[in-house]
């Protein structure tokens, strides 16, 4: 028996077909209107699993590109500060050349000294450059000024208060970049080489190990009294002494004299009297009379200091190859071989491979001021000697500038890299999410035709019934 087709069935089928057609029609219309194939996760759950991470990727990349531009601004702010620093160092070089070679009088040099002092303060403020409220060159300690000028006694120096941590920010997936250079790596360098002493002729020798000073220091070699091996009748006088180290002595009783080394015997008693040692050195002694034994050797102690006499290291053993002299201002140490030490005076200590732009400026300034009253030739020669230091400090600033500039320009590359990553993600997203418009519109037209046809045919079929023909 064939299936009976009833009117109810006809209506139901027609209605169902029209409804389905309209449903498909609406779905396609929605796809065209939104331009997207997946508007709800259930439209294509597998695609939804891709769409959410891709959308997040794009948001991340937006974040990265804002980080990149912010990083760029910060790096450029640092670079522009260092450009100022570079032209400042240029001016310092001009001044140094002028003062080393020119026929300047004391006043001219003094005026240049004042200018260098101003430049020093400018350099400090460059080191303390800020962007917004944040110091650029202090590591992560961005709310305290990285560089402060510390003066104690007649020496001044600039200390670094920052740390060595980087302010890092993620600028691309998995790529961190540092927004800053710790200031001490720009203005102070630590690739330590040999330590050299110059100028003093005190006989003190560097040991070339264990030193921690940076740039320049003055090693003051002073007279530090007599060692306990001195005869009981001999004490240090109040006058100037230049002779250090072991000194041979000879007492005579008739008449009572004391001879130091090969110098001329001096009649006793002697009060605050200079004794010539016969080799160009003198020692000022108070001697009450002859002592037993009449001949021997006593030691004139040295006092070594790198902070202008604030912290004095006593030397009584003149066979020591390693005397540690500590600077009370910055706690740096200088290791000194004292075997040849024989005379008071001052050594210019240069820690090669290290430099401190601030110390260089301070040294230049002090030479121009010449508070030590050095002879003009000495000042000029020392200023000439400072030229490589000025250049080195300049190079340090330029290195920092180059590093920041390099990072800043790599931000340019990153901007386009992040942009292209974003485009790639957007393309993937589009592939997964977006409707193929030409295809959908074609389908929409097909659907339109099918829908219209369904309506027409249904209208025909429903109308037809035997009742219409029986009259």
Partner 1 sequence: MSSFGFGLGAGLRALTAARLGLQIAGNNVANANTPGYSRQRIELVAADPFAIARGFQIGSGVDVAGITRLVDSGLEGRLRLQMGLSGAAEVDQSRYAEIEGVLGEPDNGLSSSLAGFFGSIGSLQTDPADRSLRGGVVQAGTQLAQGLNLLSNRFSELANSTFNQVSGLVRQVNQHAQAIAALNTQITSIEANGSQANDLRDAREQHIKAISSLMDTRVLERNTGSTDLLVGGHLLVSGDHVSALSVTRDTSNHTAITASNNASITLQSGQIAALLQGESTDVPQLQDRMNRLAHNLILEVNRLQTTGVPAGGPFSTLTSFYGSADSNNNGTRGDELLSQGGFQFPVQNGDLYVTVSNKETGAMERTRIHVDPSAMTLNDFASALNNVNHVSASVDPMGRLRVNSDPGYGFDFSPRLDTNPDGFGSFGGANPTIGSTHSGPFDLSGQTFPVSFTMTTGTASSPTVTNVTLNASSFANTGAVTTDELVSAINSSLGSTDTAANIGGNLVIRSSQGGASSQLQLANVGAGTVLGALGLSTAATTGQDVGVTVQVEGSYSGSNNGNLVFRPSTDGQIGVTPNMNVDVFDENGRHVTTVNVGAGYNPGDPIDLGNGVSVRFGPGQVSATAGNVFSLDVLSNSDTSDVLVALGMNSFFHGTDASDISVNPDISTNPDLFAAGTGPAVGDASNLARMMGLRSTQLSGLDANTVEGFYTNFVGDVGFKSAAATSTLQSQDQLLSQLQSERDSVSGINLDEEMVDVTRYQQSYDAAARFISVVQQVTNTLINIGSTA
**Residue selected from 14, 21, 28, 38 as contacting partner 1 according to rule CB under 8 A:** 38
Interface with partner 1 includes 454 (CB under 8 A)? no
Interface with partner 1 includes 100 (CB under 8 A)? no
Interface with partner 1 includes 470 (CB under 8 A)? yes
Report the C-alpha gap between 249 and 253 in whole angstroms.
13
Interface with partner 1 includes 167 (CB under 8 A)? yes
Interface with partner 1 includes 152 (CB under 8 A)? no
Structure tokens at 27: 């779905």
Output Rg (C-alpha) for the chain, integer angstroms.
44
- 67 or 299, CB closer to partner 1? 67
- 16 or 118, CB closer to partner 1? 16
Of 204-212, 277-285, 287-295, 355-363, the window that binds partner 1 (rule: CB under 8 A) is 204-212
Q: Least distance from C-beta 223 to partner 1, angstroms?
A: 21
Q: Backbone phi, then psi, for 313, in 5-degree steps?
A: -95, 125
Where in 335-354 is the site for partner 1 (CB under 8 A)? Answer: 335
Q: Least distance from C-beta 388 to partner 1, angstroms?
A: 21
Q: Any idea what the Cα angle at residue 463 is, between residues 460 and 465, rounded to 5°? A: 120
- 212 or 282, CB closer to partner 1? 212
Interface with partner 1 includes 430 (CB under 8 A)? no
Interface with partner 1 includes 35 (CB under 8 A)? no
Report the C-alpha gap between 179 and 270 in whole angstroms.
70
Q: How many residues bind partner 1 (CB under 8 A)?
A: 70
Of 36-44, 95-103, 251-259, 297-305, the window that binds partner 1 (rule: CB under 8 A) is 36-44
Instruction: Tell me, rounded to whole angstroms, the distance of Cα 70 from its chain centroid.
Output: 20
- 49 or 376, CB closer to partner 1? 49
Interface with partner 1 includes 228 (CB under 8 A)? no
Cα dihedral 133, 139, 140, 145, rounded to 10, equals -40
Q: Least distance from C-beta 83 to partner 1, angstroms?
A: 23
- 6 or 319, CB closer to partner 1? 6
- 187 or 275, CB closer to partner 1? 187
Interface with partner 1 includes 292 (CB under 8 A)? no
**Residue selected from 14, 21, 31, 51 as contacting partner 1 according to rule CB under 8 A:** 51
Interface with partner 1 includes 467 (CB under 8 A)? yes
Interface with partner 1 includes 209 (CB under 8 A)? yes
Interface with partner 1 includes 143 (CB under 8 A)? yes
**Residue selected from 22, 178, 333, 461 as contacting partner 1 according to rule CB under 8 A:** 333
CB 280, CB 244: distance < 8 Å: no
Interface with partner 1 includes 427 (CB under 8 A)? no
**Residue selected from 29, 148, 185, 212 as contacting partner 1 according to rule CB under 8 A:** 212
The residue among 391, 357, 348 whose CA lies nearest residue 149 is: 357
Instruction: Tell me, rounded to whole angstroms, the distance of Cα 323 from its chain centroid.
Output: 32
Where in 181-200 is the site for partner 1 (CB under 8 A)? Answer: 190, 192
Q: Least distance from C-beta 3 to partner 1, angstroms?
A: 5
Q: Least distance from C-beta 210 to partner 1, angstroms?
A: 3
Of 233-241, 324-332, 337-345, 410-418, the window that binds partner 1 (rule: CB under 8 A) is 324-332
CB 71, CB 171: distance < 8 Å: yes
Q: Which residues bind partner 1 (CB under 8 A)?
A: 3-9, 12-13, 16, 38, 40-46, 48-49, 51-53, 55-56, 59-60, 62-64, 66-67, 70-71, 74, 132-134, 138-143, 163-165, 167-170, 179, 190, 192, 207, 209-212, 322, 324, 326, 331, 333, 335, 433, 465-467, 470
């Amino acid at each position: 028996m064939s299936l009976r087709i009833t009117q109810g069935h006809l209506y139901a089928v027609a209605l169902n077909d029209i409804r389905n057609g309209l449903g498909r029609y609406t779905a396609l219309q929605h796809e065209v209107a939104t331009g997207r194939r997946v508007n709800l996760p259930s439209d294509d759950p597998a695609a939804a699993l891709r769409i959410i991470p891709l959308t997040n990727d794009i948001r991340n990349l937006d974040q990265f590109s804002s980080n990149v531009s912010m990083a760029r601004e910060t790096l450029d702010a640092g670079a522009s500060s260092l450009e100022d620093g570079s032209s400042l160092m240029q001016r310092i070089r001009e001044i140094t050349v002028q003062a080393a070679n020119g026929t300047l009088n004391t006043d001219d040099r003094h005026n240049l000294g004042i200018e260098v002092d101003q430049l020093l303060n400018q350099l400090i403020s460059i080191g303390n450059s800020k962007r917004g409220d944040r110091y650029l060159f202090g590591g992560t300690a961005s709310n305290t000024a990285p560089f402060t000028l510390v003066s104690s006694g007649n020496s001044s120096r600039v200390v670094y208060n920052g740390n060595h941590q980087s302010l890092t920010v993620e600028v691309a997936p998995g790529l961190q970049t540092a927004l800053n250079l710790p200031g001490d790596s720009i203005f102070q360098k630590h690739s330590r080489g040999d330590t050299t002493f110059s100028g003093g002729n005190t006989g003190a020798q560097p040991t070339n190990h264990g030193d921690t000073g940076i740039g320049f220091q003055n090693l003051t070699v002073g007279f530090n009294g007599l060692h306990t091996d001195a005869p009981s009748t001999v004490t240090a006088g109040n006058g100037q002494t230049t002779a250090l180290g072991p000194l041979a002595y000879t007492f005579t009783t008739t008449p009572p004299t004391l001879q130091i080394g090969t110098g001329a015997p001096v009649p006793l008693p002697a009060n605050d009297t200079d004794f010539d040692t016969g080799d160009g050195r003198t020692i000022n002694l108070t001697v009450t009379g002859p002592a037993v034994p009449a001949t021997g050797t006593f030691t004139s102690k040295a006092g070594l200091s790198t902070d202008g006499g604030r912290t004095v290291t006593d030397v009584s053993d003149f066979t020591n190859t390693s005397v540690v002299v500590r600077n009370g201002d910055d706690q740096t140490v200088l290791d000194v071989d004292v075997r040849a030490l024989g005379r008071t005076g001052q050594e210019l200590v240069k820690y090669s491979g290290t430099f401190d732009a601030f110390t260089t400026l301070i040294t230049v300034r002090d030479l121009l001021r010449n508070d030590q009253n050095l002879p003009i030739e000495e000042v000029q020669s020392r200023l000439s000697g400072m030229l490589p230091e000025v250049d080195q400090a300049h190079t340090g600033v330029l290195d920092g500038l180059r590093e920041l500039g390099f990072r800043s320009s790599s931000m340019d590359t990153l901007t386009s890299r992040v942009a292209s990553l974003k485009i790639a993600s957007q393309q993937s997203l589009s592939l997964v999410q977006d409707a193929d418009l030409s295809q959908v519109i074609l389908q929409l037209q097909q659907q339109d035709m099918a829908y219209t046809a369904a309506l027409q045919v249904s209208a025909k079929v429903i109308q037809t019934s035997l009742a219409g023909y029986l009259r």
